[in-house]
Amino acid sequence: MKNDLLAQFNKAFESKARLSIMSVLMVNDSLSFSALKELLGLTDGNLATHLRALEESGYVAVQKQFVGRKPNTTYSATQPGQQAFADHLNALEEFIRTM
């Protein structure tokens, strides 16, 4: 029983940083790299790595554009990403309830 529930835990959200990134992208349409950094208190390298991992699993979409001459990259949660996040939260909740 417990193992079944654990199986539903999404591997992509294993790290707390990734779970945090997804949770702030769930309530904001899109956020810039610097906004994410300020909110989560992660280092540049750390945040970039986690974002790339989420992007590779198709949970986060990256939009690159220019504001004047400065590159401005924003991130948003994709539809599958939102679904996966909701499933993961449900599994977490279920897990706690059965304890």
Partner 1 sequence: MHESREHLQTLTEIRSLMERSSKFLSLSGLSGVSAGLIALSGATVVYTRLRTGLFTILHADPEATYTGTNQQDTQQFLVTVAVIILVLALLAGTYFTVRKARRQGLGVWNQSSRRLLWAMAVPLATGGVFCLALLHYNLIWLAFPATLIFYGMALLNGSKYTLRDVESLAYCEIGLGLISLFWPGYNLLTWAIGFGVLHIMYGLAMYYKYERTTA
Alpha helices in the chain (DSSP H): 2-7, 16-27, 33-40, 44-56, 79-98
Asked if residue 93 binds partner 1 (CB under 8 A), the reply is yes
Judged by CB under 8 A, the residue of 1, 7, 67, 99 near partner 1 is 99
Q: Which is nearer to partner 1, 16 or 52 (CB)?
A: 16
Asked if residue 89 binds partner 1 (CB under 8 A), the reply is yes
Burial 27-54 (b: 16+ CB within 10 A, else e): eeeebebeebbeebebeeeebeebbebb
Judged by CB under 8 A, the residue of 20, 76, 78, 82 near partner 1 is 20
Judged by CB under 8 A, the residue of 14, 38, 44, 56 near partner 1 is 38
